[in-house]
A = this chain, B = another copy of it.
């Protein structure tokens, strides 16, 4: 430690600070999400992200050479985070007796019910809508679109909620319901608070299991 301090003092320009690459990338991603949540995905630039992260623009450029590269990586990061959280519940699904409760938890990972998920769901919403006209985001947008349906399909099948002949319709219906709840609760958290959104999910699953 002392050596490093001495080195920094004596050779300031040539000995860089030791930076944890993973941690620095995460800090940049958080800054991207801050900008998206605050101002919309259209306002994401290397400059805006550097400012939000409290970094020099060169430090951001060290990791991401362009706005397109940065926004592509940040989109993939959101997908990975959501997928990882769902996978944790997924492991509980097989063989469990309380499938409806687990299905509810899985679907709620796509809803803005906590501070953590609220940020990610807003970023999700901006990616899926901007992906229609922004080619940089279209692949991530497609994966998020498919993701909701895959999760819905998994729940409809695994929870053995409906006969096979009805599973296509019920999968689309559940995917639409959850995406619509995410959209509405993200844009108007005051009018569709977390407890109400969760009750809607619970009701839908219960009705499905009676169908």
* A interface list, Cβ under 8 A from B: 38-40, 42-43, 122, 125-126, 128-134, 141-142, 145, 148, 169-170, 172-173, 175-184, 186-188, 191-192, 196-197, 199-200, 203-204, 207, 211
| C-alpha gap A186/B131 in the complex (Å) | 12
The reply to whether A187 and B128 contact each other, CB–CB distance below 8 Å, is: yes
20 contacts between A and B (CB under 8 A): A38-B133, A40-B132, A122-B132, A129-B183, A132-B186, A145-B188, A172-B192, A172-B196, A175-B180, A176-B178, A176-B181, A176-B183, A178-B180, A179-B183, A180-B180, A180-B182, A180-B183, A183-B183, A207-B207, A207-B211
| C-alpha gap A211/B209 in the complex (Å) | 12
Contact partner, A133, options B40, B130, B133, B175, Cβ 8 Å: B40
Q: How many copies does the complex hold?
A: 2
| C-alpha gap A132/B37 in the complex (Å) | 9
